[in-house]
Every structure is written in C-alpha cells, then in structure tokens.
Amino acid sequence: MANFGLFVRFTLREDAGEAFDALIRETAAGIKAHEPGTLVYACHQVEGAPNERIFFELYADHAAFEEHERQPHTRHFLTERTKYVEKTEVDRLEPYAGKYPTGAEA
C-alpha cells in the first residue's frame, strides 16, 4: 500500500483552544479545496483534556504529503501554530491493513 499517514498530538497553551481551532478550520478549508492527494485530515478534541488536539492525516502517498507541506495554507498553519502550541508529538505511519477512503485494502 502506498498510503502515508501521520498521527499528531498537540498540547495547547492555556486558553489557546479557540484561536487554534479557528486556525485549523481555515487550514482545513484550504486542504479540502486544493489537495486531492490528502485523503483524510481529521482533527479531534480530546474528551476530558481541553488543551489536547489529535490529528489523523492520510495521504495517497508520500508525494501527496510533500505537496501538502508546500501549500500556502499549510505553511501559514505551521508558522502560526507556535502562538498556540506548547508541545507537538508526531508519529509517521505506514498503513498495512484496514479499510481506507479510496476503497483499497492494505
């Protein structure tokens, strides 16, 4: 399977949730409009942890991820997030089994 994914956990600064979430909504709009190779870009609040956000990202392949990283809306997010984020943890994922939005199975 050629898919490439990320699991990202953001720990936000105190009282930064609303501003961070607004930045993500803006970024997600750009992703939806301009990134056909981004198959899933799912942002989640964590129940019981108001300063935590988890993202699951799935790309058609590594080239689609690299294209995502070059987009102006992504560059803007990467620059602006430092105002709101205290800690970032990233896991790079290599899917090998499951059901994916393309209908393909690993």
Beta carbons within 8 Å of 18's beta carbon, 6+ residues apart: none
User: And the tokens for 48?
Assistant: 């019981």
CA distance linking residue 34 with residue 44, whole number of Å: 21
Q: Which residues of 72-84 are buried (b: 16+ CB within 10 A; e: fewer)?
A: ebbeebeeebeeb
Tell me the whole-structure pTM to 2 decimals: 0.89
pLDDT digits (tens, 9 = 90+) for 50-77: 999 999 999 999 999 999 999 999 999 9
Neighbours of 57 (CB within 10 A): 20
Mean pLDDT along residues 77-101: 93
Q: Which one has a higher pLDDT value, 51 or 3?
A: 51
**Structure tokens that stand for 98 in this block:** 């499951």
The average confidence (pLDDT) of the chain is 93
Cα 86 from Cα 67, distance rounded (Å): 26
